[in-house]
Amino acid sequence: MIKILKTKDEKIERYNYDDEICLFPPFLNKKNEIDSQKFKIESEGIYKICVYGATAKNGGRGGRQCAEHYFKKNSEIKFYYEGQESGGEGGKGCGWFGGKGFNGAGLSKAEYGNNFLIIGGGGGGDSEKKINKGGDYNKNGQGNKYGRSGLSNLGTNKSKGSKGESDGSFGIYCGGGGGNGYNGGTGGGYGKKKEAGGGGGGSNYCKADKCLISELNHNIYSGFEMYKKIKKK
């Protein structure tokens, strides 16, 4: 019983902080490329990390996911981030004039081994001519044949958003591509104006000591930020 209480007290002390210092101010992937970085922890402690999924160039907004986690010294955090058009491709070659939908956006993630993984999903792409909007992260696209969000595709283990559908018949419009995420959104279906669907947004994900609430990425680019939790003197 004494040992259990001691362990509990140590855990409370470990999480007894009231301030934070910024190690990485919000990094935004303005080049819109697929890239990665690594960061080595110099001192053990609690860190807050946030990742941002991209907003589609023509489509829905990405998601922001933050988490707090205890890391030991020399732990190496891996960051990975994608561009505004890195998701599923919009449908191509629709109607008699070869119209096309818009691509979904890419994700952003941070991970360490099997104990820590957070992902910000990307927004879904609009249908052809921006008729029906792609879904924000965790949201379905618009239109009667909307693309489903990655949140509704849980268990598929497919991070890449799927392609928008297409058909070359007269009066048909292409669907938008799904956004990337822990589970990617599905592409919108083809059809007439009201039917052609925007792509579904990719899903956020969090596996950490403490997961914070998912929210919209109010920036258009993917990226991340990082803080160390500290005690005021």
Predicted model pTM: 0.89
Q: What is the pLDDT of residues 51-101, one digit of tens each?
A: 999 999 999 999 999 999 999 999 999 999 999 999 999 999 999 999 999
Domain ranges of the chain: 17-230
How many C-beta atoms lie closer than 10 Å to residue 16's C-beta?
10
Q: What is the pLDDT of residues 194-203, one digit of tens each?
A: 999 999 999 9
The mean pLDDT value of the chain amounts to: 90
CA neighbor of 123 nearest in space, from 163, 88, 164? 88
Q: How confident is the model at residue 163 (pLDDT cuts 50, 70, 90)?
A: very high
* 145 residue type, one letter: K
In this model, does residue 154 exceed pLDDT 80?
A: no
In this model, does residue 10 exceed pLDDT 70?
A: no
Distance separating alpha carbons of residues 111 and 222, to the nearest angstrom: 16
* 80 residue type, one letter: Y
- How confident is the model at residue 216, as a pLDDT? 96
CA neighbor of 121 nearest in space, from 185, 202, 183? 202
